[in-house]
Structure 1
Amino acid sequence: MELVPDHGGVGVALIAASSTLQISIIVSCVLFIFRIRGAKYLAYAQIPFRLLLLTPSISIILIAAHFTPGYSIIYLVLIIISEAVKGWSLWKYAGTPTS
């Protein structure tokens, strides 16, 4: 694996964090589908990692970023806004589901 010699431990840590985030997104989706209480808290816990790894909750932001190269500040602002909206919607609408 060429990652460690080329990028060091930071590259490995970022890949591990990104992979863990992707798995937790799938797990939270399943938890939300089955209305399990922990889904809301897992989704809250994902917000800082989504911001750190630039993984927006609204996938269309990735498409917009692809077609507007050089606008990284706008991309970052859109990610922050999407995560703020996600946090607010979790607080407002993801009350206490059954089970």
Structure 2
Amino acid sequence: MSKGMGRVADNRWMMLWGAMDLAALLLYAVSSVYQGGIPVAHDIASGMAIQQRHGSMLPLLVSILDATLLLSMLLSGILLVKRSRLGRYVVIAQLPFRILLVMPSVFFLAHMGWAGFSPALLMVLMALGELLKLWSLWGKRRRSDGSGRDGGSGQ
């Protein structure tokens, strides 16, 4: 594949992953409003209420981490759709939090549990989705000639 064709494929992957982040946020916001809440604010308020009832900071911490991840998904979605290289770095930073909070990049996997899919199968699919995302944004950018340098223009 020529260098130009490789960039087109890379751009398509970036746009796909960016669109998936933005679609996940849209689905989250619509669902939250439909249930009578304000996206993010309702989640943090729920975490605070649980913390006050039970005395544990963990629910509030998880709510804050979740809100931070959601905001970073907005950032990564926009950056990836715009095909900014910075979006790839945001994706790397998100990865541990996506796994910890079980918020897959292939966003519809998070909703397949309601359809009776096994939680173990969903976790395997999530891991495969995250590996595909990493490979498509980072791994396949390496030249096949073994030089170890990016196939990009160096910008």
TM-score (norm 2): 0.55
- Please state if 1:63 is matched with 2:111: yes
SS in 1 for 2:57: helix
Q: 1:66 to 1:45 in 2, by over 3 A?
A: same
Q: 1:3 to 1:27 in 2, by over 3 A?
A: same
Q: CA deviation at 1:87?
A: 0.8
Q: 1:6 to 1:88 in 2, by over 3 A?
A: farther
Unmatched segments (≥5 aa) in structure 2: 1-47, 142-149
How much identity, in percent, do the aligned residues show? Answer: 29
Residues 28 and 43 in structure 1, CA contact (< 8 A), matched pair in contact too: yes
SS in 2 for 1:2: helix
RMSD between superposed Cα atoms in Å: 2.2
- Please state if 1:37 is matched with 2:85: yes
CA distance in 2, matches of 1:45, 1:58: 17
Note the 1:74-89 alignment, pairs <5 A: 74-89=121-136
CA distance in 2, matches of 1:30, 1:97: 22
Counterpart of 2:134, as a letter, is: G
Counterpart of 2:129, as a letter, is: S
Runs of 4+ in 1 over 6 A off after TM superposition: none
Counterpart of 2:123, as a letter, is: L
